[in-house]
Amino acid sequence: MHLRKYLKEHSISAADFARAVGVAREHVYQWTRGDKLPQPERMTRIYEATNGLVTPNDFYPLPSLPAHPKEAGGR
């Protein structure tokens, strides 16, 4: 789950989340906009503060993968 979605669904402000993970509010804004990635130690705090709902992978866009050959009608 992306951090922006987590904050919205749980009605948590950027300021409150920033206090929970020990960073400035601006960091949370940068993370939710995708301007910057959290440092590893902060990713751990984010994971813990969200009870594992926001993971490090949620900060990286995944490439579209081609369909599996069998699913695409191949052999």
Dump pLDDT digits (tens) for 20-59: 999 999 999 999 999 999 999 999 999 999 999 999 999 8
DSSP characters over 10-67: TT--HHHHHHHHTS-HHHHHHHHHTSSPPPHHHHHHHHHHTTTSS-GGGGSPPPPPPP
CATH number of the domain that residue 44 is part of = 1.10.260.40
Q: How many domains does the chain have?
A: 1
Give residue 25's domain range: 3-59
Q: Give yes or no for a contact between 71 and 43, defined as CB atoms under 8 angstroms apart.
A: no
Residue 34 included in any domain: yes
For residue 70, being part of any structural domain is answered with: no
| Residue 7 in domain | yes
CA distance 24 to 66: 40
- Whether 75 is in a domain gets the answer no
Name residue 67's amino acid: A
**Token pair for residue 64?**
């579209």
pLDDT tens for each residue of 2-30:
999 999 999 999 999 999 999 999 999 99
* Residue 35, in any domain of the structure: yes
Q: What is the pTM of this model?
A: 0.78
